[in-house]
Amino acid sequence: GAVVSQHPSWVICKSGTSVKIECRSLDFQATTMFWYRQFPKQSLMLMATSNEGSKATYEQGVEKDKFLINHASLTLSTLTVTSAHPEDSSFYICSARGSIYEQYFGPGTRLTVT
Amino acid sequence: DAKTTQPPSMDCAEGRAANLPCNHSTISGNEYVYWYRQIHSQGPQYIIHGLKNNETNEMASLIITEDRKSSTLILPHATLRDTAVYYCIVRSGGSEKLVFGKGTKLTVNP
């Protein structure tokens, strides 16, 4: 099946700094990628939809200036958490649309802000 | 908001069939039923999807009622590695978004 990777798998950063998370589709091209956030013992929450070559579409309540998304190629989307705060600590998961029917998820990135 | 209702938790004995129910009484004609699962601290894994016919693949079977208001995911011979949270999601063919509900935490016991 299609493989989606994320890097890093975990990261610890200090409050006020920025951190970038990469999402790559390894064996297929993805015009659309998605970014989710998951807090402990909660379900996944969609943050934004990322389309190659265009601006991301953010879900209601997600700050676009804080969570910068770039989808510069058909195999790479990045999420940058700017000026991170402890409340941004979460599990960030990306997915890539393979066909119209299927989305493939990455393994997730655990972000801890101290 | 999620359009599905699932029991919060279920238990199953190893080697037995696990039957996970899902209610989607407001499903519309062009909406598909998807099942994903998430093993602890990993990304979700696609299992199966269907529109109105029953579907089977190497992982599971999906049984959709004739009125399409509910469905059941069947893992025919559950193993300990099937312990995970299972999400039933309704999505239209024209929509790209997957909206996750709370899912069912399945625990397979030895």
B41 band by pLDDT with thresholds 50, 70 and 90: confident
Across the range B26-38, mean pLDDT stands at 92
Across the range B92-110, mean pLDDT stands at 86
Q: What is the pLDDT of residues B1-11, one digit of tens each?
A: 668 999 999 99
Each residue of A67-101: b (16+ CB within 10 Å) or e? bbbebeebbbbbbebeebeeebbbbbbbbbbbeee
Q: Per-block average pLDDT, block size 10, for chain A (114 residues)? A: 92 97 93 94 93 90 95 92 96 88 91 97
**Which tokens hold the place of B44?**
């979700």
DSSP string, chain B: ----B--SEEEEETTS-EEEEEE-TT--TTEEEEEEEE-TTS--EEEEEESSS-EE-SS-EEEE-TTSSEEEEEETT--GGG-EEEEEEEEETT---------EEEEEE-
CB contact under 8 A, A95 and B46: no
Chain A residues contacting B via beta carbons under 8 Å:
1, 4, 6, 32, 34, 36, 43-46, 49, 91, 93, 95, 97, 100-108, 110
For A42, residues 6+ apart whose C-beta sits below 8 A from its C-beta are none
Question: What does residue A86 show for φ and ψ, rounded to 5 degrees?
Answer: -55, -30
Q: What is the pLDDT of residue B95?
A: 66
pLDDT at B94 over 70: no
Terminal Cα distance for chain A, rounded:
37
Using DSSP's 3-state secondary structure scheme, residue A12 falls into: strand
Which of A23, A41, A105 would you mutate first to test chain B, the one with the most B CBs within 10 A?
A105
Task: Name the DSSP letter for residue A87.
Answer: G
Question: For chain A, what percent of residues have pLDDT higher than 90?
Answer: 79
Q: What is the pLDDT of residue B30?
A: 85
Which of B46, B49, B86 would you mutate first to test chain A, the one with the most A CBs within 10 A?
B46
